[in-house]
A and B are shown apart, each in its own frame.
Chain A
Amino acid sequence: MSAKQLTSEILRMDNLVITASSYGARQTIPIVKGISLSLKRGEVVGLIGESGAGKSTIGLAALGYTRPGSTIAGGEILFDGVDIRRLSAAERRKLRGHRVAYIAQSAAASFNPAMRLDKQVCEAPVRHGLCGFEEAKTQAVQLYRELDLPMPETFGSRYPHQASGGQLQRAMAAMAMSCRPDILVLDEPTTALDVTTQIEVLASIRKLIREHQTAGLYITHDLAVVAQIADRIIVLRNGSVVEEGDTEQILNRPRAEYTQALVSTHSKGVKASGAADTREVPVLELSKVSARYAKAVRVVENVDLSVRKGETVAIVGESGSGKSTLARVITGLLPREAGQILYNGVQLPPTLTARSTDLLRRIQLIYQMPDVALNPRQRVSEIIGRPLQFYLGLTGAALRERIAELLNDINLSPDYAERFPGQLSGGQKQRICIARALAAEPDLIICDEVTSALDPLVAEGILDLLASLQQTRGYAYMFITHDLGVVRRIADRVAVMLKGNIVAQGSLAEVFSQPCHPYTERLLASVPEMDTHWLDRLLANRGRSHLESA
């Protein structure tokens, strides 16, 4: 390393150890175990890893901050040559927001809903005494313009609820940049956004960072996203560094086994086309189904769809496209307004209460967030056992035996029956949710974003499990997702939803190879690829058509 490079180093962490103590417990556990990293001016380093890897903790440590309950137990954090740990609270406060700024994952939750955006964006430069409010406002307008926000002059006078998720995330970037910081810590800034929105936000943030020569710590679990913006990538697992290297090298020649697994999740093959028998009566058939929430606009409109035995139909769409509502209509939680739903050729009553117990048993739903889909005060044995008791009348030894079998089906050992959901990991919880659905011995399982709350490798396991269960038992799956990678892996047929309508439907090849609807095309193009130049190519391609559509 040359002398010049050394002097331009803006942040350096040496052997950083951060420990946390959980409530009620007296001993502490290390969550970051001796990490060293260095960040030069104008450089973007990607921190990547699954939840619990310690990446957010490291990002916050760059601001000299730790979450309540955790402390920096050892090591140095040198910011521009000064150890942050030795600074007083007041000095640290001067640093934060001014020279090191933070962009959080959920902008919607980070803005004060009762204050106009301007007031929040301009707060930092005013509080740090850099300039007056009027000047800060002029600068903010400039930042809005750089971030491609609509109507930059008046954008700041909006309240947070008047801006979309992607706009809020960009407003947050403007807030972070308002003091022209040396370092920007970006904590999953695009994770909560739809793929199509993610592109725009990612491109805007990247442009901004490059123009201002800001150094960045980009924290994410998505390797393809970080590849578009980072110069170097550090792969973390359980609080330690697994691998560190240039973006190019990590993507194309990953050395560590864990990194190789991460890279390969993106390039997993397409599912062999399903052998669903088209002559058979479909398990589920929807024709011209419409539904709305009380007095609101229609969220599902004229939907035609069929699902056959042993087949996986994926419903793809952005948030707000009505795909989850469709699931609620099928299960009867939201009575349909018009149209017909046939179940094995028989009319399905619109409301839940009008359906027989046997019908209820046959359609099972698996949810996105296993944390709230499992009652935290019931043991696994009760969670899985209840449908067995309720539908099949199993008791005593037969019940216990069946629970053990089901746990075996989802690759968990029988002693998990005595655990509470709080004692399980995210992936294990989702497995329990699957077991609960299996317990009812259904024909049709509706999976509502079952993998989107999970880490990529864990999600991988869940998808494999669902696929092998389908092969052996012939379940029909209706798979609701926004993740096209998931669709490619498991779906036989795809339906693309936009604003309550199905805009494209057909076999995986038909819909994805020759997208005939412009929305499908845009959706497909928006999926990040494991290629450092993907975003550049996309933006170049899009340039003309984007201007036209805007």
Chain B
Amino acid sequence: MLRRHISIAPIIGISLIIINVSAAVLAPFIAPHGEADMLGTMWASPTAEHWLGLDNLGRDILSRLLFGARTTISLALSITVLAFGIGVSAGFAAALKGGWVDTVLSRLVDVIMAIPGLIFSLVILSVFGSSVPVLTVTIAVLSSTGIFRLSRAVALDLAVMDYVEVARLRGERLGWIMRREVLPNALPPLLAEFGLRFCFAFLFIAALSFLGLGIQPPYADWGGMVRENAQAINFGSLAPLIPALAIAQLTIGVNLLVDWFLPNHSQTQGEGAS
């Protein structure tokens, strides 16, 4: 088999992700200042001391950006992984089992989708209080509905394949069929969805932070930083644009990598040797 030519796009994607992840991991060591240290006047312009300037409370934006990467990426990642765990297993089970299992799960998902996501999470968060676990589970459950629909649709196509029937005839359990027969073949669309959901997750956290129910101060997260500094745009300061750019670059990085990974991965199906 020929090695696929690697183009520039995935290299950019991988580099962006590596930079972001190392920023997240190394934040306590490389950040010039503490996450919550107030060091000067509000929205001070960039200086040699503070490369990206100061925020609404006079904290170093660069340092908060680095610490923010930590919170945002780890939270978004755990939300997405949890959402996929719920959505994919429920979606596959619905497709493979059919009958009442499918009906119950699908209608349940319809009900959740009928309630506006933001309102739903506001209710949950105001009842249970805003903590990281509650935040994770709430957003994960909400985004698992879309994943459920996608994985159910993909698995419906695969469930009629003869190799799935072979496994059934062999007497395999549902879990094994889902894991070994269906999942590997459903991976390409699911991975594309993963990249997208990952980005949605921290945009959702940002939205909640904007309403004061996301990550609680003084901890930094990128969405929250946009909110805290939003008014600065009126004074010609770039402060809110910097965390927004951070969100954008990570989104692009993840998507570039996913785009490259998709056709590359489906190559195992290759052409037959005749």
Contacts and interface: CB of A to CB of B under 8 A. Distances in A.
B48 interface: no
Interface stretch (A22-30, A75-83, A271-279): A22-30
B127 interface: no
Interface string B233-274: 000000000000000000000000000000100011111111
B169 interface: yes
Interface of B: 2, 4-5, 161-163, 165-166, 168-172, 180-181, 184-185, 263, 267-274
A377 interface: yes
A404 interface: no
A22 B274 CA distance: 14
A333 B169 contact: yes
B24 to A, nearest CB: 32
Given A333-B165, A377-B268, 7 more contacts: A24-B263, A51-B274, A333-B168, A352-B168, A375-B163, A375-B184, A378-B180
Contact of A372 (B163, B170, B270): B163
A390 B184 contact: no
Contact of B170 (A52, A333, A374, A386): A386
Contact of A365 (B4, B169, B272): B169
- Which has the most chain B C-beta neighbours within 10 Å: A369, A376, A390? A376
Interface residues of A, number: 38
Contact of A375 (B2, B168, B172, B181): B181
Nearest to A448: B162
A436 B162 CA distance: 13
A420 B169 contact: no
Nearest to B264: A24
Contact of B272 (A357, A367, A372, A425): A425
B210 to A, nearest CB: 42
Contacts of A365: 166, 169
Interface on chain B toward A: helix, strand, loop, or mixed SS?
A: helix
B271 A22 contact: yes
A424 interface: yes
A367 B162 contact: yes
Contact of A25 (B2, B171, B268, B272): B2
Interface string A416-437: 0000101111100100000010
A123 B169 CA distance: 48
B172 A390 contact: yes
A331 interface: yes
B243 to A, nearest CB: 39
A107 B135 CA distance: 55
Contacts of B267: 24
A250 B274 CA distance: 26
Contacts of B268: 376-377, 420, 422
Contact of B166 (A24, A357, A373): A373
A355 B168 CA distance: 12
A387 B272 contact: no
Contacts of A391: 170
B273 A24 contact: no
Q: Which of B180, B263, B267, B274 has the most CB of A within 10 A?
A: B274
A377 B166 contact: no
Nearest to A358: B171
Interface in A372-400: 372-378, 386-387, 390-391
Nearest to B162: A373
Contact of A377 (B2, B5, B169, B185): B185
A364 B166 CA distance: 9
Contacts of B169: 331-333, 352, 360, 364-365
B184 A423 contact: no
B272 A422 contact: yes
A376 B171 contact: no
A319 B186 CA distance: 31
Given A373-B162, A420-B270, A378 B184 contact: yes
B163 A374 contact: yes
6 contacts: A23-B263, A369-B162, A374-B163, A422-B268, A422-B269, A424-B272
A424 B273 contact: yes
